[in-house]
Amino acid sequence: MWKKIVSICAVLFILITSQAHAHVMNADNAYNDLNYTEAKGEILFITALGMTNSQDETATFRPNDSLAMEELAEFVAAYYHLEGENTVQQVVEKGWISSLKGNATFADVNEAFFAGELAIENGSESLTREAFAMFISEHGSSLIEEAGFTEGPVGQVEAVEQKEISVDGKDTHQYHIQIGDETIILAAHPYVDAPSVDPTVWEGMYVTTSLLMEDPHDNGEEVAQFLSISEDPPVQEQVVEEETSSIDEESKKETAEVVEEEKGNHYANWLFIGLVVVVVFIVVGLYMKKRN
Amino acid sequence: MAQPDGTYRLSGEWLNTESDLSYYFRADHVYMVYERPEGHVILIGQVLQNKDGQSASLILEEGFYNGFFLPKELLEELIPFTLSYETLKNLDGVEQPYLTQKDGYLQLQTK
C-alpha cells in the first residue's frame, strides 16, 4: 500500500513540475465538460487571459450555467490580479460591478470589463458562462494588451522544430513554430484551440490568432501562450479566393462578350461587303443593258 | 477500431487485453502501470508524431520504480509502441493521419 501512496505522490509531484515536453492545453484536457459547447476556443481564450484562475479545482467550466454576479466578480478579480482577502468584494468596492447578488447581464459584463463603453443592444439580458466567453472574445481586443500579451504572427505553419533547452537546470524540449517568415516559440504550458496537442502535427495548418508573453518558465523569452489553429484556411482567405474567382468569372464573361461582339462585327463586315458586291453587280448589269 | 461515425480509435481497454501493462489513455497523458509482487512501475508519456512525420510513438516523459525516479536515459530507450502512418493510410478515408489522445482511447484523425 505504501508503495502505491509513494507512487501516486510522485506522479502528482511530477505532473505539477514536469517540463520534459510542452504540455499543450486544449478543449480536451483543459476542462472536462467542453464536449458539447460551440465556444471551446472562446473559453480557452478567456482562460489564457487569466480570467478563470480562481475557479474551483474540478476542471469544469459549466458552459451552459448562467453567469452569476459573484462568478463575474471572480473573473474580474482574477483578470486584474486582485490580491488579499475577499477579492470579489474588492471588485464591488472598486465600482466595477454593482453587487454580488443574482445573475449577471451583458450590461454588467460591459461595465466590468469595458467601463460600459460598448454599444450593445441586449444589455438587460442575462447570459450563460459560454456566452460570457463569446462576448469577451468578440469585444476583448483591448483586454489582450492590458493582460500583457502582444499579438504574434498568423498564417500557415511552415515548419515545427523541436529544440532541447535547459530551464533552471532541467532539460526540456521547446517547440519553434515557423509561420511565414517569422518563428515563434511555444510556451511550456500554452492554451491552444487546435485539433491536436502535438505541435508537430500543426505543420500545414493555419494559425489564426497568436498571443505572446514573456514567461519565466521559458528563460524569460517571449513565447506563445495562446494559439488558435485551424485545419482550413481562415475565412478571410476563403473570401479573397471567392472574390478572386468571382472576378475571374466576371472577366471571363466580359471576354466572352467582347468575343461575341467581335463576332457580330465580323458578320456585319461580310454583310456590308456582300451588299457592295451585289450593288456593283446591279450597277454593272444596268450599265451593260443600257449600252446594248 | 472503426466507429459508427466512420472514425477510428484505439481503445485502451483493447490494448490492455494484449499487454502485460495496463494503459490508461487520458487527454493530457498516457499512464502505464506494471505491478508485480516485487515491484511497481508507473510510466507517463504522450503519443507524439516522430520527427520524420511518418509515424507516432508513445514517448515516455517520466517513470517510477517503487516510487523512485527512473533515469531519463532509460526512458529514452523505452518506446512502448509506434504506429506507422503508412499502415493507417490503408484504412478507408484516411489520407494524412495523425493521432490525438482522448479519455480512454487514441483517436485517429486525418488532415
Alpha-carbon span A283 to A280, nearest angstrom: 5
**Chain segment A175-197, per-residue pLDDT in tens:** 999 999 999 999 989 999 999 99
Residue stretches of chain B with pLDDT short of 70: 1
What average pLDDT does range A145-170 have in this prediction?
89
pLDDT score recorded for residue A18: 46
Q: What is the predicted pLDDT for the residue at A288?
A: 79
User: CB-based burial of residue A44 (10 Å sphere; 0-12 exposed, 13-18 middle, 19+ buried)?
Assistant: buried
- Residue B93 included in any domain: yes
CB contact under 8 A, A18 and B48: no
Tens digit of each residue's pLDDT (9 = 90 or more) over A22-53: 789 999 999 989 989 999 999 999 999 999 97
For residue A3, is pLDDT > 80?
no
Report the distance separating Cα B44 and Cα B105, nearest Å: 15
Q: Residue for cell digits 536515459?
A: B73
CA B66 from chain centre, in angstroms, equals 22
Contact (CB<8Å) A197/B109: no
Contact A88, A73 (CB under 8 A): yes
What is the rounded distance in angstroms from the CA atom of residue B108 to the CA atom of residue B92?
12
pLDDT value of residue B22: 94
What was the pLDDT predicted at A252?
A: 53
- The answer to whether B32 touches B21, Cβ cutoff 8 Å, is yes
Cα distance between residue A44 and residue A203, in whole Å = 21
Domain total in chain B: 1
B3 in a domain, yes or no? no
In contact, A28 and B100? CB cutoff 8 Å: yes
Average pLDDT over chain A, rounded to an integer? 83
Cα–Cα distance measured from residue A14 to residue A16, given in angstroms and rounded to the nearest whole number: 5
pLDDT given at position A286 = 81
Taking 90 as the threshold, does the pLDDT of residue A115 lie above it?
A: yes
Report chain A's C-alpha Rg in angstroms: 33
What are B's interface residues with A at a Cβ cutoff of 8 A?
Answer: 26-28, 31, 40, 42, 44, 46-49, 51, 53, 56, 59, 61-62, 64, 66-69, 72, 98-103, 109, 111
Flag whether B2 is in a domain: no
Q: Please give the Cα distance from A212 to A227 (Å, whole number).
A: 9
Alpha carbon distance A149, A141 (integer Å): 10
Which structural domain range is residue B21 located in?
A: 8-110
In DSSP terms, A48 is beta-bridged to none
What cell does B26 get? 487520458
B1 is a domain residue: no
For residue A261, pLDDT beyond 80 = no
How many A/B residue pairs have CB atoms within 8 Å? 71
Query: In the structure, what pLDDT confidence band is assigned to residue A1 with cuts at 50, 70 and 90?
Result: very low
A201 at the B interface (CB within 8 A)? yes
Looking at this predicted complex, what is its ipTM? Answer: 0.84
